[in-house]
Structure 1
């Protein structure tokens, strides 16, 4: 087997199971949610061994180091060998801000409900 010198960012991210579909990986690149070595990249940008890939999803960044290049989708154990995850652990649930949830179609909040929401948020 010949070693790859570079691979497309979207293809590699899909192959190592960071995205469910290749089109989702391409869309994330197009939206600017994927950075390689600190730079926003297009889907076809070349990726090399040792590059740092940051993927923004769910409000948090995943920080991945490329250890091996693949272009075809691989099994989960092989995918784990292709990357090194430097993502910090998520913050504890207590530090995440509370969000008031309203039922869909409930209309505008009343003055009393608005005061309760403000009280919840600590205002």
Structure 2
């Protein structure tokens, strides 16, 4: 069993504890839930909460829309300040580029949203449009079924 004292070198540590110490998740129980939910992978495969990781391990972590591929640079069993936690891992170049691309696509997709809610008249027009299209769709399929 590895000791988590800050004075002794740690060779391996449980993945849930490392994710918490590296500040990917706010609590160990949230980290555990993410691992059990299939949000954390090692070598393309889901991991168990008790998985022991070492320096050099490559992990894929999904948080919301973001999917990060990180390389473990150091191990720690204690949660420290954010600058210290960021030294525990390094995100791969491919992962950074992929996240930036997806973020820009998400921003472009959200630009098509209207800046206001539909008014009562707008909602009526939308409903009328949907009903007309549903009728045309039904007519098309009933015509082609014959």
Residues 48-80 of structure 1 show CA distances to partners (whole Å, capped at 9, x for unaligned) of 111111111213311111000011111111111
Tell me whether 1:54 sits opposite 2:66 in the alignment: no
Q: Do the aligned partners of residues 94 and 112 (structure 1) sit closer, same or farther apart at CA in structure 2, a change above 3 Å counting? A: same
Unpaired runs of 5+ residues, structure 2, are 1-6, 118-122, 131-146
Normalising by structure 1, report the TM-score.
Answer: 0.75
Q: How many residue pairs get matched?
A: 109
Please list every run of at least 4 consecutive aligned residues from structure 1 whose deviation after the TM superposition is greater than 3 angstroms.
Answer: 95-100, 113-116
Rounded Cα–Cα distance in structure 2 between residues aligned with 1:59 and 1:114: 35
**Partner of 1:112 in structure 2?**
126
Rounded Cα–Cα distance in structure 2 between residues aligned with 1:99 and 1:33: 29
RMSD value, Cα? 2.6
Unpaired runs of 5+ residues, structure 1, are 104-108, 117-123
Q: Do the aligned partners of residues 66 and 95 (structure 1) sit closer, same or farther apart at CA in structure 2, a change above 3 Å counting? A: same
Residues 30-65 of structure 1 show CA distances to partners (whole Å, capped at 9, x for unaligned) of 111111222200111011111111111213311111
Larger proportion of helix: 2
Larger Rg: 2
